[in-house]
Amino acid sequence: MEKRVAVVGFRMMSAPDLETTRERLAFDLTRGLFDDLGIDRLEVDTTIVDSNDFLDGRTISNVFLDPPAGAYMRDESKVEMDGVNAVMYACMRILSGQYRTALVLALGLTGSQVSPYLHVDYQLSPVYDRQVGLLNELSAAALQARAYLAKRGYREDLLHRVAAKSLSHAARNPFQARRLAGVDVEAVAASPPWYEPLRELHCYPPTDGGCAMLLADAERARELTDKPVWILGMGQSIETYYLGERDLSRSPSAAQAAERAYAMAGVKNPRTEIHLAEISALFAHQEPLLAEAMGLLEEGKAEEAYLSEETGIAGSMPLNPSGGALGGHPICATGLLRVAEAVRQLRGEAGENQVKGAETALAHGQDGVCAQQNAVLVLGI
């Protein structure tokens, strides 16, 4: 049997407040996907539920999501990380030969039911950082932004340009939660200051959302769709937990995750072989930082790339043509949304944000404070 795995379909949605429950969101996404593909729950061999007990407010929270996802009395497992990791887990299950199809469901009601930017406080060192109270998700991200700008010699204007690009893309994307018309560099620079150098429009918005995606082996994929998108490579890596031991101006874990994915996919030169990248950049500075780490932009040349619009939809290296996480960040689902957006591009279904001639794409997810853990997929048609 041909040992390949493809994405055959997906359903996704996001909004500042979906006015629904986790269970209803799980049902709507899964039922919609099954209807799109003309299948029922008995044709799904295994299900991976991606949710967070802390954010859901209950232990083993996936047990309440199995029934609306059609996984009751079926094989099911759980991931409590970003959605790209759930896709990797589903791939490995299919490649084991024990399963032919895998449903990946990731969701988070982190716009309506969770205090914004609070959850990362509980990922900090309980002995020192959490007690002192100086660090939180925003202040840690600001430290990372300042370290990156200082190390590379970039101006703060770079952050405004990254955010303006992403938010203009998000405004044209019906699947994004934050769709602001007419946002330009000046509007970003004039948004309220938060933690220096970060401003409001440099940061992700609290978001409700989720995604259901079906993966299948090569034979079953061709039966289910005439537009399979193949998972060509995958890799992940994680850095030390304590922020004081990390160089926040760079991301060695993103570099290593990308290297592993490129090696599996046979990618030698990502700047020419990858046609677009969907990066889970929760803050404006993270897009160029991670793109440089993953070899998508030349190190030290990010300012030039954004000034020349190289990273725009019509550029030589389109970054986040969907708008990325600055358009919405439903925790746990964000990376899976990046995969879905990459699939839309490769299928030629991205509408106004379509990258012409796209045949390969990178999808990225992150976890932890200042992108402590990174996961990368290379996709192709």
In the chain the domains, ranked by start, together with CATH numbers, are 5-114+206-224 (3.40.47.10)
Summarised one tens digit per residue, pLDDT across range 353-381 is 999 999 999 999 999 999 999 999 999 99
Summarised one tens digit per residue, pLDDT across range 282-327 is 999 999 999 999 999 999 999 999 999 999 999 999 999 999 999 9
For residue 1, the model assigns a pLDDT of 47
Q: What is the DSSP string of 66-78?
A: TTTTT-TTS-EEE
How far from chain centre, in Å, is Cα 124?
A: 22
Which of these ranges, 50-54, 208-212, 230-234, 275-279, has the smallest mean pLDDT? 50-54
Give CA–CA dist 184/177, Å, rounded: 18
Summarised one tens digit per residue, pLDDT across range 2-35 is 689 999 999 999 999 999 999 999 999 999 999 9
Structure tokens at 283: 């803050």
Which is nearest to 82 in space by CA: 359, 332, 342?
332
How far from chain centre, in Å, is Cα 227?
A: 22
The amino acid that residue 11 corresponds to is R
The alpha helices in the chain, defined as continuous H runs, are 22-37, 53-56, 83-95, 129-132, 137-152, 157-171, 185-189, 218-224, 252-265, 270-273, 286-293, 302-307, 334-346
Q: Give me the chain's average pLDDT, please.
A: 96
Give CA–CA dist 88/376, Å, rounded: 9
Give CA–CA dist 94/103, Å, rounded: 11
Which of these ranges, 58-62, 206-210, 313-317, has the smallest mean pLDDT? 58-62
For the chain, how many residues are written?
A: 381
pTM above 0.75, yes or no: yes
207 contacts 198 by C-beta, under 8 angstroms = no
Handedness of CA 309, 314, 317, 322 (dihedral sign): positive
Q: Tell me if residue 238 falls in helix, strand or coil.
A: strand
